[in-house]
Amino acid sequence: MKRTVAVIVMGVVAFAAIVLARLPASWVLPTAGANFSCTGVEGSIWSGYCSGLVVRGVGMGDLTWQLRPARLLLGKLAARIDLQHPPTTSLLADVEVGFGDTVVARNVTASLPLDPTLLPGAPQAVTGTLHVNLTLARVTKQGVVRDLKGRIEARNIVDSSGDVTPLGSFAVTFPGGASEPTGAVQDLGGPLAVQGKLVLTPQPGYDLSGYVTPRPSAVPALVNAIEFLGTPDDQGRREFALSGTY
C-alpha cells in the first residue's frame, strides 16, 4: 500500500512538472489592461519572449526571460532577463526574489537615456546616457537600495534649462558591503573636475557631496554658476552638497 501511494504521488508530481514546463507564457503574462502588458507573448513561463512590453504606459521594448527552476527548491524565483529597445535601451541581468521584500540582481549591464519617462525624478532639461555595470544590487520592493557593487556612468550630460551647456561625463563606483551604499564620484573628463561621494539613504533618498573645479574648457555661464557655491579652497575647488528623496 505504501509503495502504491508513493508511485501515485510521484506520478502526480511528474504530471504537474510537465504541465508547468509546457505552460504557455501567454496564460500568465497579460496582454492588456494591467500595469504592464505585452503586444505578443511567445514561449513558456520558463523560457519566453514578450514583444512590445509596456510598463505603466511607457514602452520598454522586447523582453526575453529564462527562469532558473532549481532556485524554486530554495523558495526563490530567479530568472535571466534581457530587455532590448534599440537604439537607446538595453538591460541584461540575473534577478531573484524570495519571500522577503528584497529583489536581488546580479551581473547587471544596462544602457539607457537619462529620460524622466524611464527614470522618474530625472531632470527634464538634462540629457545624456547612463551605462550600468553592477555585480550586485539589493533593492527592496519599496525602492530602498540596500547594497550596490559596481559602477554607473553618466555620459555626455547636457543642461538645456537655459543655454545648451555641456557638463561632461561622470562615474560613481560602489565597493559594496556598506550599511548605506556609498559610491565614489569622479568626472570622466569635460569642463568640470569633480570628486565626491554619493550615499544612498533609507528614505529612500541620497546625499551627494564633494568638490568641483571648472576647467579651461568650461563656458563662462558654467564658471559663473559654480562661483555661487562660495569661496574656493587653496586648490581652487568649491564644495557642493545636494540631498533629496526619490
pLDDT of res. 81: 94
**In the Cβ-directed half-sphere of 66, how many Cα atoms lie within 13 Å?**
5
Q: Residue 17 has what pLDDT?
A: 54
The answer to whether residue 145 sits within a structural domain is no
More confident call, 22 vs 81: 81
Which pLDDT score is estimated for 8? 53
Report if residue 110 sits inside a domain: no
> For 54-96, what is each residue's pLDDT tens digit?
887 888 899 999 998 888 778 888 999 999 998 889 999 999 9
Decide if 228 is inside a domain.
Answer: no
Taking only the tens place, the pLDDT of each residue in 212-235 is 999 999 999 888 888 988 999 999
Residue 62 belongs to some domain of the structure: yes
Q: What is the pLDDT of residues 127-168, one digit of tens each?
A: 899 999 999 999 988 888 999 999 999 999 988 887 888 899
pLDDT at 142: 82
Residue 174: pLDDT above 90?
yes
87-122 burial, b at 16+ Cβ within 10 Å, e below that, comes to: eebebebebbbeeeebebbbebebbbebbeebeeeb
Share of the chain above pLDDT 70, in %: 85
Query: Taking 70 as the threshold, does the pLDDT of residue 210 lie above it?
Result: yes
Whether 1 shows a pLDDT value over 50: the answer reads: no
Q: What is the pLDDT of residue 30?
A: 59
CA angle 132, 80, 176 (to 5 degrees): 40
Question: 37 lies in a domain?
Answer: yes
* Domain count along the chain: 1
pLDDT at position 25, please? 61
Q: What is the mean pLDDT of residues 41-54?
A: 89
* Confidence band, pLDDT 50/70/90 cuts, at residue 2: very low
Residue 54: inside a domain: yes
pLDDT of residue 12: 57
pLDDT of amino acid 11: 55
Residue 194's Cβ-side half-sphere holds a number of Cα atoms within 13 Å equal to: 25
Mean pLDDT of 186-196: 94
Model confidence at 209, in pLDDT bands (50, 70, 90)?
A: very high
Domain that holds residue 78: 25-98
The reported pLDDT for the residue numbered 190 is 92
- Torsions phi, psi for 121 (to 5 deg): 100, -15
Model pLDDT, residue 163: 81
Question: What is the pLDDT at residue 72?
Answer: 79
Asked if the structure places residue 35 within a domain, the reply is yes
185 falls within a domain: no
Average pLDDT of the residues of the chain: 84
